[in-house]
């Protein structure tokens, strides 16, 4: 779901960069030394998972895992995803440096929202709530990212309206897959290393 360089309007690029700076600053402030390995591992997971992508106009379709990352890292998703997207733009020309802020916000912000909306369900002792929270976080964060990408394109010109709609529709299967993946991972982590999820 990387947006390519040369597509977005300057106002969208500047707004995205500003939000990214704020989110990254909050994320860095919330990371303690014990969290660094966890952030590093999830950054690497995102980096690898989103390398397998299918080009789709000015964007692409791929696994994102931003809901899972948001549930585990909270605001630290911002610096984690920023680093992954930076290296993807440098090594593989996915997205680009000028759109790095927007792409980071599009991926990280829905993950942070998923953290606030679903963390309580995931930490609950109720199995049904665990499953619901994991699925909503995984699927909802992908939906949120798709909406933010579509809004970014739409705000850059009416010519991108068709592409924005296509991106949203193309990510419906990804939403379902990521919801199921997040449920599975969260269920596994709760059994073997519940402390990874942090305090409830």
Q: What is the pLDDT of residue 19?
A: 97
pTM of the model: 0.88
Q: What is the pLDDT of residue 72?
A: 93
Q: What is the pLDDT of residue 134?
A: 95
Q: In CATH, which of 1.10.1760.20, 2.170.120.30, 2.60.40.3080, 1.10.10.10 is domain 10-197?
A: 1.10.1760.20
Q: What is the pLDDT of residue 50?
A: 77
**Model confidence over 137-185: pLDDT tens digits?**
999 999 999 889 888 888 887 666 777 777 778 778 889 989 999 999 9
Domain definitions of the chain by residue range: 10-197
Q: What is the pLDDT of residue 6?
A: 84
Q: What is the pLDDT of residue 195?
A: 83
Q: What is the pLDDT of residue 94?
A: 78
**Segments of the chain with pLDDT less than 70:** 1, 53-61, 158-160, 199-200
Q: What is the pLDDT of residue 92?
A: 83
Burial class (CB in 10 A: 0-12, 13-18, 19+), 78: buried
């Amino acid at each position: 779901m990387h947006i390519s360089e040369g597509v977005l309007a300057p106002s969208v690029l500047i707004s995205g960069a500003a939000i990214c700076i704020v989110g990254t600053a909050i994320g860095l402030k919330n990371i303690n030394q014990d969290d660094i390995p966890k952030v590093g591992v999830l950054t690497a997971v995102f980096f690898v998972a989103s390398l397998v992508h299918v080009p789709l106009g000015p964007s692409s379709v791929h696994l994102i895992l931003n809901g899972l990352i948001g549930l585990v890292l909270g605001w630290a998703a911002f610096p984690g995803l920023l680093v992954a997207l930076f290296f993807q733009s440098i090594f593989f020309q996915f997205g680009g440096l000028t759109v790095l802020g927007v792409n980071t916000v599009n991926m990280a912000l829905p993950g942070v929202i998923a953290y606030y909306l679903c963390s309580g369900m995931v930490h609950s002792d109720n199995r049904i709530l665990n499953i619901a929270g994991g699925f909503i976080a995984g699927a909802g964060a992908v939906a949120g990212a798709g909406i933010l990408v579509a809004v970014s394109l739409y705000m850059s010109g009416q010519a991108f309206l068709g592409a924005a709609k296509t991106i949203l529709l193309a990510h419906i299967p990804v939403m379902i897959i990521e919801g199921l993946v997040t449920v599975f991972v969260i269920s596994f982590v709760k059994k073997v290393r519940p402390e990874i999820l942090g305090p409830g």
